[in-house]
């Protein structure tokens, strides 16, 4: 599912600062990057199901590999993991309201922190 109109779409932040903000909110970049893109994930385990909140971005200047880049954020996603196939983000998926609400709150915090850094 896409989280439309969160306000973080098109925000831009320095990679190092963005890594700190995301880590503080439980979103991990780990090895999910290339020289132009980054992906931050937060894992949620609810009963027997596993979900991922994913925030992606791409470098508008600089190089992710060199740890010096300005990252423009994209529309966040929520997906459900199906073993062994992977994560599905389709609109046909059923996501618990409590999880959607929790993700919405996290995304609002991302927005506020990135805007504060950019102010």
pLDDT in tens, 1-40: 999 999 999 899 999 999 999 999 999 997 777 889 999 9
CATH of the domain at 23: 3.30.310.100
User: Is 46 inside any structural domain?
Assistant: yes
Q: With beta carbons less than 8 A apart as the criterion, state whether 15 and 88 touch.
A: no
**Does the reported pTM lie above 0.95?**
no
The mean per-residue pLDDT over the stretch 81-87 comes to 82
User: Is 98 inside any structural domain?
Assistant: yes
User: Is 31 inside any structural domain?
Assistant: yes
Of the pLDDT bands very low, low, confident and very high (cuts 50, 70, 90), residue 93 is: confident
User: Is 6 inside any structural domain?
Assistant: no
- Structural domain boundaries enclosing 68: 12-118
Q: In terms of Cα–Cα distance, which of 65, 64, 90, 61 is closest to 78?
A: 90
For residue 9, the model assigns a pLDDT of: 92
> Could you report how far apart the first and last alpha carbons of the chain are, in Å?
30
For residue 86, the model assigns a pLDDT of: 78
pLDDT in tens, 71-80: 999 999 999 9
């Amino acid at each position: 599912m896409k989280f439309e109109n969160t306000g973080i779409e098109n925000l831009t932040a320095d990679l190092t600062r963005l890594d700190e903000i995301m880590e503080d909110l439980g979103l991990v970049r780990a090895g999910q990057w290339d020289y132009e893109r980054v992906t931050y994930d937060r894992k949620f385990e609810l009963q027997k199901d596993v979900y991922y909140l994913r925030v992606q971005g791409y470098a508008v200047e600089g190089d992710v590999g060199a740890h010096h880049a300005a990252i423009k954020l994209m529309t966040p996603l929520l997906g459900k993991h199906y073993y062994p196939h992977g994560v599905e983000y389709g609109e046909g998926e059923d996501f618990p309201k409590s999880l959607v609400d929790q993700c919405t709150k996290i995304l609002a915090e991302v927005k506020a922190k990135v805007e504060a850094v950019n102010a």
